[in-house]
Amino acid sequence: MGEIFEKAARENGLVTAFAIVGFVVLVSGVISRRLTFGRVQGSAIAILIGLALAYVGGRLSGGTKGLADLALFSGIGLMGGNMLRDFAIVATAFEVQPEEARRAGWIGAIALLLGTVVPFIVGVGVARAFGYSDAVSMTTIGAGAITYIVGPVTGAAIGASSDVMALSIATGVIKAILVMVATPMAAKFLRLKTPRSAMVFGGLAGTVSGVSAGLAATNRELVPYGALVATFHTGLGCLLGPSVLYFIVRALT
């Protein structure tokens, strides 16, 4: 019985991956609602569970690809691989309304640019301080400080090692969680009152999940304004990370 089940899972890798990830997302949603009362968004919890499972997989297999190194879960490798990841990320651009984006005006663009460059510099600086002295690793960790999607996209483009990629994602995930939890608490200090202020926030705080969850817990009406600018964040980061930012870091090292 067990053997039949295992064979089915192994021979239908991608389908198994859909089922596993769906289950993890379901559990994360319950944890989000019951334990954090919606303050920490389900997607962030799901990613943390994913990283925890990757740790378990890495320990069990001794490999470098987390859970995907276990034959039973090999489909995870395809579902979370470069091809489908980039495909899904490109698809999110479909939600962006150019007219509304234009209304965000120059202040949104400035916030967006600052929100890309400032975290990147912090990430690169911290990476350098901890002994990651090669341009590829520093850029990947710096890009992870932009968002947890820019990190791996940049890392994959410039050929970073998997452990640096994981570190980069961890940085982005920790940042997203911090934004979610801290935004409602810091709303007064951040002056989050108007659509314009939400756009500035969306540009600087990055991470769509962090921004939308943080704003939802502060003032629901501000969510679309922040998320609108934040959706450009990943695109801008993916554009600048493996190109301009990487060249600058490479020139300086």
Partner 1 sequence: MIIYGTALLAVCHLVGIVLGDLLGAALGMKTNVGGVGIAMLLLIVARVYLHKSGRLCATSERGVHYWGAIYIPVVVAMAMQQNVVAALRGGPVALLAAIGSVVLCGALVSFINRMEPQPPETAAGAKDNEE
Residues 42-81 that bind partner 1 (CB under 8 A): 43, 46-55, 57-59, 64-69, 73, 76-77, 79-81
Q: Does 29 bind partner 1 (CB under 8 A)?
A: no
Site for partner 1 in 126-145 (CB under 8 A): 126-127, 130, 132, 141-142, 144-145
Q: Does 10 bind partner 1 (CB under 8 A)?
A: no
CB neighbour list of residue 163: distance below 8 Å, 6 or more residues apart: 64
Q: How far is the CB of 38 from partner 1 (least distance, A)?
A: 16
Q: Does 26 bind partner 1 (CB under 8 A)?
A: no
Joined together, the tokens standing for residue 8 give 């089915």
Cα of 132 vs its chain's centroid, Å: 21
Q: Does 36 bind partner 1 (CB under 8 A)?
A: no
Q: Does 247 bind partner 1 (CB under 8 A)?
A: yes
- Counting Cα atoms < 13 Å in the Cβ hemisphere of 141 gives 23
- Measured CA to CA, the distance from residue 170 to residue 77 in angstroms comes to 18
Cα of 185 vs its chain's centroid, Å: 22
Joined together, the tokens standing for residue 166 give 């994981």
Q: How far is the CB of 1 from partner 1 (least distance, A)?
A: 26
Q: How far is the CB of 217 from partner 1 (least distance, A)?
A: 15
Site for partner 1 in 210-229 (CB under 8 A): none
Q: Does 13 bind partner 1 (CB under 8 A)?
A: no
Q: Does 109 bind partner 1 (CB under 8 A)?
A: no
Neighbouring CB atoms inside 10 A of 162's CB total 14
Joined together, the tokens standing for residue 42 give 């389900």
